[in-house]
Structure 1
């Protein structure tokens, strides 16, 4: 019998597994696919390697938000590549181009050159981001002040904060321009999510040679070196219970894997679906609450391979919006007016070119109906295929218009992925990019805790707390704190454990 059984091997599951295995617990991670990693995994097409959902991280330097977490997880010595300090995010809105620089002073000065009357607003903006980031340092203190601060910011609207802090509506849009790392939902997006993610990248922004796979390998190594196991092709179909507690995970082949504590790193609605309704472990109202929660949008992605015309490595993201009003109101259009160009760093430090690029394009609610989620023959749907063709053409058009490509740039091969692709390979319902939509107006229902009504079932991953590499990593430590205690986690993060 295992001390810990973890369902799913995304970043949240693997990080939780590494933390607990290194504390002497016997850990077994069960992953339904052929490789571990979830959205950290890569895939190959036509001899080229592309990332699934990992593109960059923020806050890796000493004193910054992600550093203590990655230090404990032994991830700091991976081949990180710092993005352009003068412009890690190039934001195109209509015909205008803006730069997001790393570091508070440079960030403010760069934008104040374009918006000289907004210097006070920019300082207030950064004050809020930094105070939100600072709360992470105290998250595991015995005093509840940091957690109170977190709950307060979760209950505030990011959109409303920008409205009252920044006078120029164009600057409000610019400050939201690096936010395709989250869903810019004007009514729902919590200020905490907006601030924590943006703050980490302004501190410092990084890519990783090899994409997300080095992270996966390092975490799996730690689990296995501590005596744990990571099993692939092990799909959990049911959770078995007795005497009010879970006792085993049943796999698709009928095998039962017994455990004392269970951690779910899959979507909460899928977790609920694993627990038989006649088990008596979950009330009907809880099931209905979880199953009714709305998910964030997914992405259409154009994966470009151009081996014959290598591209100068673009050490920044390029975010493209058709107009200033479109950033917070994507749901009003059938075709999203937003695009993101990203690329993996070269495989070796002495290389200056790449042969692959990704162009990401958010899905709007109107397009979601074309994905025919209730059928398996969606590929035969003429409207679905027409939408894919139009989206691919739009992505390639934005790439050629906004990226510094060689004059003879030639695409040899393109691969596309849609939310249905993400759903198939990561299990995320409807291919949601960021999991459950947290709603600042309805936190008790939409902000989930690592705890569940079942005493020995915890949850982690992008639908708990905050999504993204930073959010999921912090949540893994929050989940582990339920078993190890907050003081133990605090000591880990300050290097005393």
Structure 2
């Protein structure tokens, strides 16, 4: 039986990045992945020879000198990524029913201000105030700025400030207020919960620069895998961990579903914290700690409509759409079922073989897990194929039709352009990605109780550490910073950040 210095459970971005960093430093590392395909939200899938992304539709902060660019350089993958920069004059476009205007988010803060000020000429001062504050908030987080420093949330400012109230303080114009919050699907914006710092950290990185992955985001997982193998690390697929076994208060083995036992000195879980602690017997951690982890609210899930288009029929659009039926972008989570979808996001894939046309569209709208709860007892993946029945198929078809009705308003001939379509529900995300209830971004952040949802990488188990979107912040950049926090427990934060900056 092999023994490893580090056993990592889950091959999402955080797990792969931890494995890359630690294997480069000489640790013997194994990554255990329950699925056949690695990558978590980095996964892609193909339908009718068309590539679709699971969860990563565009990435920010990748220009020279920017944060994610430097982290990816250190990981050894930046120069190998196949990327297409989104429209610098409007990478995200916010639109509303009964309003023919398109409100564009431009790249670069100067261009961002100028573009929106052209549509809101009396609001330039408010836009300048907004951008200045965004950068001020971001400057408060050391790792976001490629600096070593304490990750104790008690040292951070702005945790208890509302994103909505901040935006409204910059402008009294209701339309501009909604435009500035119009991409809040990137963090599941909720009026009474979303903190200013979440809005700022997410929006800032895309305003700095925004890119789409050519032929899908799974290339990130492939490049990290290559690096892990090059440094002696190992990745085991179809290796689902079902139980941690303890010896002297520490984890000694991870037991796999097929009975194999993987021994390690230290364990890093890239799995949702609540699911992580379900892998151990009662009594291994205090009830209060387990209860806190398991009682935190998770963000809402989504329904996804993936459209395969007839080749060469829809010109590629180099931006994303965030559309709302009403001018209230903050209350989309508590949607009226009879009016669903009340909002959606729309993304186009970019194909290296035919870059001038879109061969597939991805359309997302919030969906509560309650809508699919009647089928929650089922489990369905490529490896464990289990039909959910005709009523589930009818449910998906009805939802797809409603989504198509909305999309037809933006692209009037979309039905004739569509060759086939495929859907994903909260159950799909739960089963493939392993999130609780198919949650998009893990734990919900709440400015009224900010410390509650901050999860430390160190657990009450001496040799168990956490990483992933629940640790720090979701998204490619947030998870990358989270993996640095996790690896700092082994390597030291200053040592690691010095290497990252000098890479």
Give TM-score, length-normalised by structure 1: 0.93
Using the TM superposition, give the Cα deviation of residue 418 of structure 1 relative to its aligned residue in structure 2, in angstroms. Answer: 0.6
Using the TM superposition, give the Cα deviation of residue 43 of structure 1 relative to its aligned residue in structure 2, in angstroms. Answer: 1.1
Counterpart in the other structure of 1:103: 108
Q: Deviations over 1:194-242 (max 9, x none)?
A: 1111000011100111211110111011111100101100000101111
Does residue 230 (structure 1) correspond to residue 235 (structure 2)? The answer is yes
Equivalent-residue separation in structure 2 for 1:107 and 1:449 (angstroms):
35
Match for residue 22 of structure 2 among 2, 17, 20: 20
Match for residue 250 of structure 1 among 233, 247, 255: 255
Using the TM superposition, give the Cα deviation of residue 405 of structure 1 relative to its aligned residue in structure 2, in angstroms. Answer: 6.1
Equivalent-residue separation in structure 2 for 1:273 and 1:263 (angstroms):
15
Equivalent-residue separation in structure 2 for 1:99 and 1:404 (angstroms):
21
Counterpart in the other structure of 1:187: 192
Contact 1:262 1:456 in 2 (8 A): yes
Equivalent-residue separation in structure 1 for 2:319 and 2:401 (angstroms):
23
Q: Deviations over 1:426-456 (max 9, x none)?
A: 1111111111112222223211111111111
Equivalent-residue separation in structure 1 for 2:329 and 2:153 (angstroms):
33
Contact 2:454 2:471 in 1 (8 A): yes
Distance of aligned partners of 1:6 and 1:337 in 2 relative to their CA distance in 1, 3 Å threshold = same
Contact 1:5 1:261 in 2 (8 A): yes
Equivalent-residue separation in structure 2 for 1:39 and 1:162 (angstroms):
30
Does residue 458 (structure 1) correspond to residue 460 (structure 2)? The answer is no
Distance of aligned partners of 1:446 and 1:87 in 2 relative to their CA distance in 1, 3 Å threshold = same
Counterpart in the other structure of 1:474: 481
Does residue 303 (structure 1) correspond to residue 310 (structure 2)? The answer is no
Counterpart in the other structure of 2:285: 282
Match for residue 112 of structure 1 among 94, 108, 117: 117
DSSP 3-state at the match of 1:359? strand
Using the TM superposition, give the Cα deviation of residue 71 of structure 1 relative to its aligned residue in structure 2, in angstroms. Answer: 1.2
Moved more, 44-53 or 10-19: 44-53
Q: Which runs of 5+ in 2 are unaligned?
A: 379-385
Equivalent-residue separation in structure 2 for 1:454 and 1:59 (angstroms):
35
Using the TM superposition, give the Cα deviation of residue 288 of structure 1 relative to its aligned residue in structure 2, in angstroms. Answer: 1.0
Does residue 315 (structure 1) correspond to residue 318 (structure 2)? The answer is yes
Equivalent-residue separation in structure 2 for 1:346 and 1:374 (angstroms):
35
Contact 1:436 1:446 in 2 (8 A): yes
Equivalent-residue separation in structure 2 for 1:165 and 1:281 (angstroms):
49
Match for residue 402 of structure 1 among 407, 410, 417: 410
Equivalent-residue separation in structure 1 for 2:129 and 2:152 (angstroms):
22
Counterpart in the other structure of 1:32: 34
Equivalent-residue separation in structure 2 for 1:175 and 1:87 (angstroms):
13
Contact 2:313 2:417 in 1 (8 A): no
For the aligned residue pairs, the C-alpha RMSD in angstroms reads 2.2
Q: Deviations over 1:282-308 (max 9, x none)?
A: 001111111111111111111111234
Match for residue 421 of structure 2 among 414, 424, 432: 414
Match for residue 167 of structure 1 among 166, 172, 180: 172
Using the TM superposition, give the Cα deviation of residue 337 of structure 1 relative to its aligned residue in structure 2, in angstroms. Answer: 0.8
Using the TM superposition, give the Cα deviation of residue 400 of structure 1 relative to its aligned residue in structure 2, in angstroms. Answer: 2.6
Give 1:60-459 correspondences, 5 Å limit: 60-77=62-79, 78-94=81-97, 95=99, 96-137=101-142, 141=147, 144=150, 151-277=156-282, 280-334=283-337, 335-348=340-353, 351-363=355-367, 365=368, 368-372=370-374, 374-376=376-378, 379-380=388-389, 382=391, 387-403=395-411, 409-459=416-466
Equivalent-residue separation in structure 2 for 1:75 and 1:135 (angstroms):
27
Contact 2:6 2:268 in 1 (8 A): yes
Contact 1:87 1:101 in 2 (8 A): yes
Equivalent-residue separation in structure 1 for 2:329 and 2:356 (angstroms):
34
Q: Which runs of 5+ in 1 are unaligned?
A: none
Using the TM superposition, give the Cα deviation of residue 381 of structure 1 relative to its aligned residue in structure 2, in angstroms. Answer: 7.6
Contact 1:330 1:337 in 2 (8 A): no
Match for residue 492 of structure 1 among 479, 496, 499: 499
Distance of aligned partners of 1:127 and 1:150 in 2 relative to their CA distance in 1, 3 Å threshold = farther
Contact 2:376 2:427 in 1 (8 A): no
DSSP 3-state at the match of 2:363? strand
DSSP 3-state at the match of 1:300? strand
Distance of aligned partners of 1:320 and 1:396 in 2 relative to their CA distance in 1, 3 Å threshold = same
DSSP 3-state at the match of 1:108? helix
Equivalent-residue separation in structure 2 for 1:405 and 1:16 (angstroms):
46
Give TM-score, length-normalised by structure 2: 0.92
Using the TM superposition, give the Cα deviation of residue 89 of structure 1 relative to its aligned residue in structure 2, in angstroms. Answer: 0.7
